[in-house]
Amino acid sequence: MILTVTPNTGLDRTVFLDRLRLGERNLARAAADGMGGKGCCVSLTLARLGEPTVAIGLAGGEIGRRVEAMLRAAGAVTDFVWTAGESRQNLVLIEASRRHTTICVEGLEADADHAAALCERIRHHARHAAAIVVAGSAPATWPLALYEEVVRTARQATASLVLDAAGDALDRALRYRPDAVKPNRDELAAAVGRPVRTPGEAIAAAAELCRRGAGSVLASLGVRGAVLVSGEGAWRAPAIRVPVGSPAGAGDAMTAALALG
Contact 55, 4 (CB under 8 A): yes
Instruction: Please pick, among 12, 164, 179, 252, the residue that the annotation labels catalytic.
Output: 252
Distances (CA, A) of 140 to 51, 63, 79, 82, 121: 32, 17, 22, 16, 21
Contact 259, 2 (CB under 8 A): yes
The DSSP bridge pattern shows strands 10-17 and 88-95 to be parallel
233, β-bridge pairs: 230
Contact 205, 192 (CB under 8 A): yes
Q: Which DSSP symbol is given to 7? A: S
Report the SS3 class of residue 183: coil
156 residue type, one letter:
Q
Report the SS3 class of residue 215: coil
191 residue type, one letter:
A
Distances (CA, A) of 195 to 4, 165, 190, 198, 214: 30, 18, 8, 9, 20
Active-site residue flag, 179: no
Rounded to whole angstroms, the Cα distance separating 200 from 258 reads 21
Give the catalytic positions in this structure: 252
